[in-house]
Structure 1
């Protein structure tokens, strides 16, 4: 609770041993509060938190055996990289002669074995992130908590660090709980994803299932782009008896010239014609916005040589398999 506002409401979640679980949601969804309760920085007003069957709701953060990586890395600026890594071992009573080989091994694992004597201010953002991950892992905690771990990095470095985190998870097998608002990051890293809104869980599923079979309009729109097909001109209308909304993903729609050959599975397809409103070239992808009557549909296709490219004003045909249409709750 923050005053009269409940940041997290009726949150019930079981995390499997060794899995990488991501809590995903927009600002104010309650994802960070959920992580802070797991970390011991916030106390639940009711309910309990169990780790390996034991309650830790009243245990302070320093009493919980877990590693934490923050968005701003939270490295000690007055300590060298080596001393940053030694600190959690020292706090656990590991003797000096035993700390040194552990630190050297971890520095080598995160490709920083020649950076031990540098200060954090002398490192790049990606290098600081590696130090933060190494410090969280070095004491061998069973649980790793990541709070927007890649939020401060540029896109290329973020993608590189996603691979690094995935590799560390495979190698160390830690139960990892990550909070992010980045959908691509969640899909790339996770075994399962929790989508939150308004302090509640909207859906919990594996990445592919979550993207391909969202339960409602919010999840569909938050995790990618969704074309809602609830108008007769698209061949659909809202199924009022079930209160369901038909939806198709942009990459499931095929765009072609009106005069092009019909798709092979014509009897299994829905076909409409429309006018291109916009085309956005994004390197490997082209994204079209196509007006069909009163509705604007988004189409996304991989750019390839010999492919027809359409400009605003062009008449086009759109086809999609009826089997690719998903029925959503509001």
Structure 2
């Protein structure tokens, strides 16, 4: 709690050895507070924090054997890259003769073997991120905590670092807990995602399960885009035991768009067809996104760009269709 505000409540979380778990949520959802509790920067007002079955709730952060990477990297500006990597080893009492070979191997592993004598200010953002990861991993901690680790990088660097982080995790096999609000980052890196909302866990599952079978409209809209259907279709499949207090949802990429004159396939029993009028078309390189007015509502359609494809302009009437089996029912 922060004064009268409860930042996190009823948080029960178990992370397996070697697992990469991402805590995902919007600002104010409690994800950062959850990480601070795990790191020892914040003490829980109730409950406990266990590592390998032992309580560490009263153990200060500097006495916990853990690796931490912050969004700001937190490299020591007055130390060289090599000295930054030596620091956690020196704090653990390792002699210089043992430290230097390990630092050399780690610099080679993050593809910065010739940067040991540089100062952090002489590195790019991506290079600083690699050094921050290397420093967190070099002492072989039992687990690694990542706080918005790629938030300060541009899109291309983020994608490169996602690949590098995934590779490092597979190589070291270290238990990792990452906090982010970036859905793509969570889907790319995680073995399991925990979606938080208003200080509580909304849903937990694999990236595939959460994206394809969200339990609530909040999860459906936070992990990608979601169309809430206002068109009743009793033949659509439900993924929940009861449809009471649920609404039908479909992902934009599961909807096909075609001209009204296009031939309708033979699988009409398996598909739902509606007509609408294009409100807007957004070109995004590999894909196009259409906003289509259907009745009093609006549906988003996303299709992969291909050669010879018909491009629909605002004002054109179109037919939309989707497999009934692609509809999911989510709680409001």
The answer for the alignment partner of 1:212 in structure 2 is: 212
Instruction: Describe the SS at the equivalent of 2:201.
Output: strand
- Worse-matched range after superposition: 257-266 or 177-186: 257-266
Shift of 1:164: 0.5
Other-structure match for 2:134: 134
> Match of 1:194?
194
Distance 1:112 1:256 in 2: 51
Q: What is the CA distance between 1:235 and its match in structure 2?
A: 9.5
Deviation at residue 61 of structure 1 after TM alignment: 0.5
Q: How many Å separate the matches in 2 of 1:233 and 1:276? A: 22
Q: Residue 234 and residue 287 in structure 1: after superposition, are their counterparts in 2 closer, same or farther (change >3 A)?
A: farther
- Is this contact kept in 1: 2:235–2:324, CA < 8 A? no
- 1:93 and 1:318 mapped to 2: Cα distance? 66
Task: Tell me which of 296, 299, 306 is aligned to 1:297.
Answer: 299
Which residue, out of 281, 286, 289, partners 1:287? 289
Q: Which runs of 5+ in 2 are unaligned?
A: none
* Post-superposition offset of 1:234: 11
SS of the residue aligned with 1:219?
helix
State the Cα distance separating 1:46 from its structure 2 match: 0.4
Q: 4+ residue runs of structure 1 moved beyond 3 angstroms?
A: 231-236, 238-241
- The aligned residue for residue 84 of structure 1 is 84
Does the CA-based 8 Å contact 2:230-2:297 persist in structure 1? no
Aligned length: 329
Q: How does 1:176-255 map to 2 (within 5 A)?
A: 176-232=176-232, 242-255=244-257
CA deviations over 1:157-197 (Å, ceiling 9, x no partner): 00000000000000000000000000000000000000000
Q: Return the TM-score normalized by structure 1.
A: 0.97
- Equivalent residues of 1:233, 1:293 under 8 A apart: no
User: How far is 1:263 from its partner?
Assistant: 2.9
- Structure 1: stretches of 5+ with no match in the other structure: none
TM-score by length of 2: 0.97
Q: Which of 260, 263, 284 matches 2:262?
A: 260
Structure 1 distance, partners of 2:167, 2:99, is 24
Q: Does the 8 A contact of 1:44 with 1:57 survive in 2?
A: yes
RMSD after superposition: 1.6
Partner SS state of residue 320, structure 1 = strand
Alpha-carbon distance in structure 2 between the residues aligned to 1:53 and 1:267: 54
Q: Does 1:70 align with 2:97?
A: no
Q: Does the residue aligned with 2:179 lie in a helix, a strand or coil? A: strand
Deviations 1:216-254 (A, max 9, x none): 110001111110013459999x99961110000000000
1:58 paired residue number: 58
User: In the aligned structure 2, how far is the partner of 1:132 from the partner of 1:264?
Assistant: 57
